[in-house]
Amino acid sequence: MNRRAFTLIELLVVIAIIAILAAILFPVFSQAREKARQSSCLSNLKNMNTALLMYTQDYDETFPLTAPDNVRAFFTTPWDRTPASPLGYARRQGFWSNSIAPYIKNWQVYTCPSAQERNIFNIDPATNPMRFTAAFTLNGYLQAWPIAGTPSPAKLITFWEGLGKQTIPGFATVSPLPHTKAGFPPPSGALYRYSETGDECTTQIWWTTVFEATHRVHAEGSNYAYADGHVKWIRNPSENSPWAAVDANGIPTSLWVPDFCFTTGCCPALWHRPTIE
């Protein structure tokens, strides 16, 4: 029997067909994989939000401390995993991620598979073996805020992917920060708390610092949780997103603020205000 070998042209045709199929299928596989990550992230966010609301039911329907050290934006989690003084331990233990820990079955719930780690604080896994990563940021305006003071819980953001498409190993975060002159350093005063009538009510939000990253975490948007318990994906930017605009890399350039900002000069983040109606 004569056995004819493939000619060079036939081999090139086969290679071309394989290349075309790969160009068509690889993006499809990549999109499917990212869709699965987004679903996993949304599920974790739902569990986090449920834990937060369970906490409020056990503590007089009040949200936990978001920033127990006045306006600190981030704290180590778990609270006892880094050397510190007893006072440092107490402050860390009161941070939101540690406060709701008893209502969460495992640490993996805090994470999002789409986010990338940035170890900007050089956390050493050898000395901190239970290294923790929180992909979700708590709304800082909820600092010890009563649920009764939220007229539209279905509009009020509780958790969001405030650091964009990144996480910080060993830390959980708060953003926006409760930034008013209602609080003073201990032992002379109270904790900071959001106030639309505060002496200094401009928003501080972690989006122009070393934490800067794209907020197109999942396709063209990111996941959000709300005070009524529901979670959903929102395009960034959009009317329902905190961001009014982002640049070509998905990094926010402007933030939605309430109408009264233009008459009073008090400009909190619109979709994070506990009093939003």
Q: State the pLDDT confidence band at 208, using cuts at 50, 70 and 90.
A: very low
Q: Residue 97's pLDDT is what?
A: 84
Q: What is the pLDDT of residues 75-124, one digit of tens each?
A: 555 545 554 544 455 566 678 888 898 999 888 888 899 988 776 655 55
Q: Residue 17's pLDDT is what?
A: 84
Q: Does residue 2 sit within a domain?
A: no
Q: Residue 9's pLDDT is what?
A: 80
Q: Does residue 7 sit within a domain?
A: no
Q: Does residue 160 sit within a domain?
A: yes
Q: Residue 41's pLDDT is what?
A: 95
Q: Does residue 5 sit within a domain?
A: no
Q: Does residue 28 sit within a domain?
A: yes
Q: Does residue 37 sit within a domain?
A: yes
Q: For 63-114, where are the E strands, in sequence order?
A: 74-76
Q: Does residue 142 sit within a domain?
A: yes
User: Among 112, 110, 227, 111, which Cα is nearest to 158's?
Assistant: 227
Q: What is the pLDDT of residues 11-31, one digit of tens each?
A: 888 888 888 877 776 665 666
Query: CA–CA distance from 177 to each of 83, 129, 154 (Å)?
Result: 26, 29, 21
Q: Residue 189's pLDDT is what?
A: 44
Q: Which residue range forms the structural domain that includes residue 227?
A: 13-272
Q: State the pLDDT confidence band at 235, using cuts at 50, 70 and 90.
A: very high
Average pLDDT, stretch 226-241? 93
Contact by Cβ (8 Å): 163, 174: no
Task: Tell me if the pTM is above 0.85.
Answer: no
Q: Does residue 253 sit within a domain?
A: yes
User: Among 77, 188, 78, 171, which Cα is nearest to 122's?
Assistant: 171
Q: Residue 188's pLDDT is what?
A: 42
Pairing of β 171-174 and β 157-160: unpaired
What domain count does the chain have? 1
